[in-house]
């Protein structure tokens, strides 16, 4: 039982640290990190793109439909 308690506490500590880091990270740093990850894994993304193309297109069609419906709502 003590091991479970220690595991929960360390998990809570990790989550608190992650939350703090997210709040401290600027938009510029977040974008820089995203671009670095994109660059590092681009070849894998290109190789796997055909596997997800149909799903991505369906998601874009759904997003466009939702945006269209949002734009059609009458204003009160």
18 vs 13: CA distance, rounded Å: 9
Task: Round to whole Å and give the CA distance between 17 and 20.
Answer: 5
pLDDT recorded at residue 20? 86
**8-62 pLDDT tens trace:** 777 778 888 888 888 888 889 989 999 999 999 999 989 999 999 999 999 999 9
Tokens standing for residue 28: 């510029």
Q: Which domain holds residue 33?
A: 2-72
Q: What is the pTM of this model?
A: 0.43
Using DSSP's 3-state secondary structure scheme, residue 1 falls into coil
Number of domains in the chain: 1
């Amino acid at each position: 039982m003590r091991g479970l308690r220690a595991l929960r506490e360390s998990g809570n500590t990790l989550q608190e640290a992650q939350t703090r880091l997210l709040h401290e990270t600027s938009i510029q740093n977040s974008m820089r990190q995203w671009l670095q990850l994109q660059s590092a894994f681009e070849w894998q993304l290109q190789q796997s793109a055909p596997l997800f193309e149909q799903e991505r297109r369906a998601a874009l069609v759904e997003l466009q439909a939702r945006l269209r419906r949002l734009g059609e709502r009458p204003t009160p």
